[in-house]
A and B are shown apart, each in its own frame.
Chain A
Amino acid sequence: QQQVKQSPQSLIVQKGGIPIINCAYENTAFDYFPWYQQFPGKGPALLIAIRPDVSEKKEGRFTISFNKSAKQFSLHIMDSQPGDSATYFCAASKGGSEKLVFGKGTKLTVNP
């Protein structure tokens, strides 16, 4: 049973485009939703995170949109750059848990 469903599996955009990566979850006990960015040959690194008490969070060019009723959240990358080419993972966690459940990842390619 996949607890966090991520789509698409891969995504190609042109420089300046706005890629959008989506995640859906079933467990209403989840209360923390981070996104991790992974470059080839490296470990993932925390990019941005959101809690269900807000519908949107921005950090620089990265924005998380959160829809509690639909149990969905998404990552938007404004003015995407070739340096944003990486694999992006969404994740979720229940309150009181020390563990994260990850989506399967989205490989993003930003062409020059």
Chain B
Amino acid sequence: NAGVTQTPKFRILKIGQSMTLQCTQDMNHNYMYWYRQDPGMGLKLIYYSVGAGITDKGEVPNGYNVSRSTTEDFPLRLELAAPSQTSVYFCASSSSGREKLFFGSGTQLSVL
């Protein structure tokens, strides 16, 4: 099992550019999450999904969009990148919601 796989690992964007952060899991988990981690600020929930076709906003959804067309994939879309979106992004999945989240290794994004 690969677990939760995130691509790319690193990316530099220019202000106003768009990109999609990819996340896929092979554990057949229904629950998937996107978090951002800023230094000294912990993990903030951006969006989450409780199953294919169902998504909902977290604490900090502005500037992001998600889709969940399959159980395995949960991509995060940045439409107009801003410097405030410079962060490390983590995707996570779980079979039981809040209990035992499995995290990917992260995508480090810089917007310059």
A binds B: yes
Please provide the chain B residues from 82 to 112 with a CB less than 8 Å away from any CB of chain A in the complex.
90, 92, 97-106
- Interface pair B104/A43, CB less than 8 Å apart: yes
Q: Which residues of B contact A (CB under 8 A)?
A: 4, 31, 33, 35, 40-45, 48, 50, 58, 90, 92, 97-106
* List of B residues within 8 angstroms of A104 by Cβ: 40-42
Query: Can you list 8 A-B pairs, Cβ within 8 angstroms, ordered by A?
Result: A41-B106, A42-B103, A43-B4, A43-B103, A44-B90, A46-B101, A98-B97, A102-B42
Nearest-neighbor residue (CB-CB) of A93 within chain B: B98
* List of B residues within 8 angstroms of A101 by Cβ: 45
A97-B98, A98-B50, A98-B98 provided; 11 other pairs, C-beta below 8 A? A32-B98, A43-B4, A43-B106, A44-B43, A45-B102, A46-B100, A89-B42, A89-B43, A93-B98, A97-B97, A99-B98
A55 CB to closest chain B CB (Å) equals 20
Contact with B along A40-55 (1 / 0, CB 8 A): 0111111001000000
Q: Which residues of A contact B (CB under 8 A)?
A: 6, 9, 32, 34, 36, 41-46, 49, 89, 93, 97-105
Q: How many A-B residue pairs have CB under 8 A?
A: 56
* List of A residues within 8 angstroms of B104 by Cβ: 43
* List of B residues within 8 angstroms of A100 by Cβ: 45, 98, 101
- Interface pair B90/A99, CB less than 8 Å apart: no
* List of B residues within 8 angstroms of A41 by Cβ: 105-106
From A41, A89, A98, A102, name the one whose CB has the most chain B CB atoms within 10 angstroms.
Answer: A98
- Interface pair A105/B40, CB less than 8 Å apart: yes
- Interface pair B31/A98, CB less than 8 Å apart: yes
Nearest-neighbor residue (CB-CB) of A6 within chain B: B42
Which 3 pairs show the lowest CB-CB distances between chains A and B?
A: A43-B103, A98-B97, A104-B42
* List of A residues within 8 angstroms of B106 by Cβ: 41-43
A8 CB to closest chain B CB (Å) equals 12
B73 CB to closest chain A CB (Å) equals 17
A46→B100 CA distance, assembly (Å):
6
* List of A residues within 8 angstroms of B31 by Cβ: 98
* List of A residues within 8 angstroms of B101 by Cβ: 36, 44, 46, 100
